[in-house]
Every structure is written in structure tokens, then in C-alpha cells.
Structure 1
Amino acid sequence: MDGLLKVGRLFFAIALVFFGVEHFIYVGGLKGPIPGPPWIPGPHPMAVLAGAVLIAVAVCIVTEKMARLAAAFLGVALFLYVLSLQLPRLIAHPHSPDPWTSGFELLALMGGAFVLARIETPDGLRFEPTNKTLSHLATFGRVAFAVALVVFAAQHFLYAKFVATIVPAWIPARLFWAYFVGVAFVAAALAIITRQMARTASILLGTMFLIWVLILHLPRVAAQPRNGDEVTSLLVALAMSGVSFILAESFASDSAA
């Protein structure tokens, strides 16, 4: 079980590092992927700060030094970002899929950060959140993650023909897989909310995201390394895989408690 947490922690941290690196690429004026969620738009100093914070949080998570505090901080920051920037976009463009996708991707990552903060070993710092506070945040995080999965499922059903075009051409019955993934998202969300087979569902979900990284996103990024959308999709899928494995470990920890 601890090995699963280490894998999830590593995947999540790697995604955060590259999210941070993209800030510096953007600020430096180099040709590269244009930052999007969870990047912070704005003046160069703000972008530099955001990139540095993401990398620092990733280092804390990997080294397990101040990891509880760093993960909780990340969750709060992402939640505020959703409220202040993503929610207004969603209200202004409710029929556009983009704000739904980016907003709920951020919400899912926020949920993972809160769950991770709850299961990390405390450092004994005076300003660390209490176990009770983190327990509430983790519950909120799990619900937010499940809600995000339902939104992703709805998008797979509504835009199934488009999703099918993203499935690699060598995979048969591409439209079937678009619907299949939507059903898988709903099933995983129900398992997480009801806590019935939640650990198994989370492991399967994390494995599915990881398969996407390997057979879908890596080849697309290799073909278009300067395409920010493709890089974003890869990093988000890797982070979602990590969050799913973190969730699986959290359910195991609850059962052992």
C-alpha cells in the first residue's frame, strides 16, 4: 500500500514540477507551451512566483518534508483559483466545454492535494492544520474529485464523436471507448462517494489515466512538442493518475484506522 502512495505522490509531484517549469518558459519568452490551468495568468513576477511555488510544493511532496503543509496550501490555492478565475469564466460561457474542463481539472487536483495532506505524516510544526481540519478537507476533496469525474463523464457523452477522434487510430471501435470511459468515470465517482469498492475503483482509475499517458498523450506530445494543449493534457493525465493512487491509499488508511 505504501508503494502505491509513493507512486501517486511521485506522479503528482512530477506534474507540478513541469507545470512550474512552464511558467519560466513563458516568462523567459522562449518558444514552448503556453501556460494554462493551473498556471496563474498575469504579470511576469506573478508567473515566476507561481512557478516557483509549484516546484517548491513538488519538492516538499517528494522529500516528505513539510509535505502536509505544502499539500494543504496547494489545495487552498487551487480552490481560490477556481473561485476567482475559473468560476467567472464558467458563468460567462456556460455552453463552452473549455471552462468546464479546466475548472474541474483544477477542482480534481485540489481534491487530491487535500487528501494527500490528510495522509501525510505530520512534521509537528506549530502552524500545521489540525487532523480534524485535514479530515474535513480530505472529505471535501474526495467529493470534489468525484464531482469532477461526473463532469468529465458528461463531456464524454456529449462530445463522444470528438473524443473518439482523439483515441489512437490503431485502437478499434473508438466511439465505444469514448462512451466506455464516460461510464468508467461515473462508476468511479459512485464508488468514491459511497466508499463501496472505493480503493479498487481508485486503483483502476489511476491505471486508466496512466495508460492514457503512455499510449495517447506521450505520442501526441512527441509529435507536437510545442503544442501547449497537448503538453497540458499529458501533465493533467499524469497528475490525475497520481491523485487516483493517492485516493486509493487514503481509503486503505481509513480501513486500517
Structure 2
Amino acid sequence: MTADWVAFLTDYGLADGYVAACHGVIARIAPAARVIDVTHEVPAQDVRHGAVVLADTLPYLPPSIVLAVVDPEVGTRRRAVAVVAGEHVLVGPDNGLLPWAADAAGGIERAVELTAPEYRLVTGATTFDGRDVFAPAAAHLAAGVDVSALGPRVDVDTLVRLPDPWLRVGPETVEAEVHVVDRFGNVALAAGATELAGAALDGHARLRVTVGERSSYLPLAASFAAVPEGDPVLLIDSAGRLALAVNRGNAAEALRLRPGDRVTIGA
């Protein structure tokens, strides 16, 4: 498989030269490949956030080699892998970052461990596998190297998976974990329209939102601007999740919520 595109996600930020170094490695090996920078602003070492962003974005990408690096265990014995899923090959650490995105692409078909020395850079460094292991592998794949050449096959059932977010649906009640908070402070829950319908809550104009000991009724609307500026609202976001937002404000700060917290939605 050759690929016109390499989709690139990291927690490197843009203050240093890490992203540019990886771009340079790709350009030297696969100069015809074009790079889509998904984001380099994943919160530092936040594998879960990176996994959510990657899974939400992948369905809108062209067939790609997906290079994803959020790697708190760089330099340890954690595996480096390439995962084939639908039209994509995902390259990155075996720490849970890749499987949700692979699921969004249709499921994992096969995987290999990145061990072949001819597809790595030899720099002597142990703290920059994005440059020395993952970017070269992605670039060689984009240039047409078969994934099987990169290393031995991996049993896909042994790939590290993140825990599924907590979710419970009952009569007129949805209890869900905060799945992700975006840069605007919008709070997306691990529930969507299907769960609202399953709890017979989808026909309500307002719903009770309970966070800890605090409860309030919020409108269920189609947009942020359906409520006055500064007011909170419930809506289905662009990823299909039930989300808490504040029109031109920050719901995470206002409600003191962060990923992993639990929220109850009721009538």
C-alpha cells in the first residue's frame, strides 16, 4: 500500500522542534507524502484524550498512514506497533492510543511490532521514538513498504486497550462519565442520542443535570446560541455525544468537571 497522506497527532506542542523533526523524517523518506496535522496540542501525556480525538477525526480523513504519538512510557519495554484498520494503517505506541480509532475505521485487521532496524533511525536516543521509530515507519509505509516488513505479527487481542467509559441507562435516567473536554470547555459525555432515546429523555425540552450533590435543569437544544450568552445548555455535539456547554463560556470550569467525572441526566 502506498498512501498520499500521513495524518499526524501528538502531544508535542509547537514551542519546540519535535513536530518539525518528524515532518523532516517523513519528507526525507517519502517526499511525495502529504501530512495532515490532526493536532499537536493533546494535553501532555494524556493518552485517553489523544485516543478520543483520533477516533473522532479518523472517519473524516482520506485513506492514510496515521502517525499518533502520545507516549508517556517512551524508552521502556512498551511495544511500538502498526495496526491495519480499514483504509488506514495506524502507527504508534501500544498504550491504548490507537484501538478506538481503529474501531472507528472498521476494526483491527492485523498488527505488527515495529522491530525491523532498516525502518528506524539510529541516533542513540531513547526518548524520541516519534522521530526515530514511528515517523520512519509511517514514512516507509507511505512510500509503499508492506506493513509485514516492519516486524513480527502481533496477536491483536494482546494490544493494550483503554477502559471503556462508564455508562448506565435506566428509565428516564442516563448516568455517564465525562469522556472528553475540548479547548472551549465543552464537556462531552460517554452518551449520545441513542442513550437519550433509550431512557425516553429525547422528547424533553429541559433535563435535570446532576453533578455530585448539585442539580439544575438545562435546556436540550440544537446549538450553543439557543440560550443567552453565559447560560448553560445540553446538546448533541459534532461527534454525536451528549454535551454540556456554556454559550460563549466554559462549561468545564463552570461545573467543575473533568474527564472521568460522572454526570446524571434525568427528567
Question: In which range does the TM-score fall when normalised by the shorter chain?
Answer: under 0.3
Higher relative contact order (CA 8 A, sep 6+): 1
Scaled by the length of structure 2, what TM-score is found?
A: 0.27
Higher helix share: 1
Report which of the two structures shows the higher radius of gyration computed on alpha carbons. Answer: 2
* Higher-strand-fraction structure: 2
